[in-house]
Amino acid sequence: NAGVMQNPRHLVRRRGQEARLRCSPMKGHSHVYWYRQLPEEGLKFMVYLQKENIIDESGMPKERFSAEFPKEGPSILRIQQVVRGDSAAYFCASSPSAGGPGYFHEQYFGPGTRLTVT
Amino acid sequence: GENVEQHPSTLSVQEGDSAVIKCTYSDSASNYFPWYKQELGKGPQLIIDIRSNVGEKKDQRIAVTLNKTAKHFSLHITETQPEDSAVYFCAANSGYSTLTFGKGTMLLVSP
């Protein structure tokens, strides 16, 4: 039973380049969440997606960041024109379905992509 | 929005001792409280969780308690082993989809 998969595991980009991070949810899961972890910090929510829909992007920076989860293929977090402050670990989590009133679904995390901007 | 405070930031124990990590949350509407273990270079691993209709939950050497009135919850690890050494994160939900995390506790278990 494969878990959440992320690639690449490590990504180095120069300032101004684009970074693309990929996430494949656990088998049977159709909901994907992206979190960012700065050094010695907890994880911060960025965006929640279902297939072909962005459900909650309240944690996404307003500029340069975008996310998608197409009908086919992995979810992608895209960072345009990277800056040094984007250096962080980016984690993807998945759940089988949406929560509802009074119920929150467990989220299972992938191994992360560590982005370094030089 | 939700705010989660976690302490201590570091915890050193001898093998066989117990370890306790405490968290407080701010949003009384939160009803799901997971704990994650993160080893160096890896992603967070869900180790135990508790929901607001339960006061305590146990799984072998790990237990979690929840006090809704005081808005705090704790992780208890008994008979610690060196392989328990890791960073532990508590979290609380905000609505149906978002987890708010504490800043983590680095647990070091010395043989």
Say how far apart CA A109 and CA A103 lie, in whole Å.
19
Half-sphere exposure of A72 (CA within 13 A, CB side): 0
Expressed in angstroms, the distance from the first to the final Cα of chain A is 37
Please give the sequence-ordered ranges of beta strands (E in DSSP) within B1-111, or none if there are none: 4-7, 10-14, 19-25, 32-38, 45-51, 56-59, 62-67, 72-77, 86-94, 98-101, 105-110
B43, B97, B101 ranked by CB distance to A111: nearest: B43
Over its length of 111 residues, how does chain B's per-residue pLDDT go in tens digits?
A: 889 999 999 999 999 999 999 999 999 999 999 999 999 989 999 999 999 888 999 999 999 999 999 999 999 999 999 999 999 999 999 888 899 999 999 999 999
- Residue window 86-105, chain B: list those with CB within 8 Å of chain A: 89, 91, 93-94, 96-104
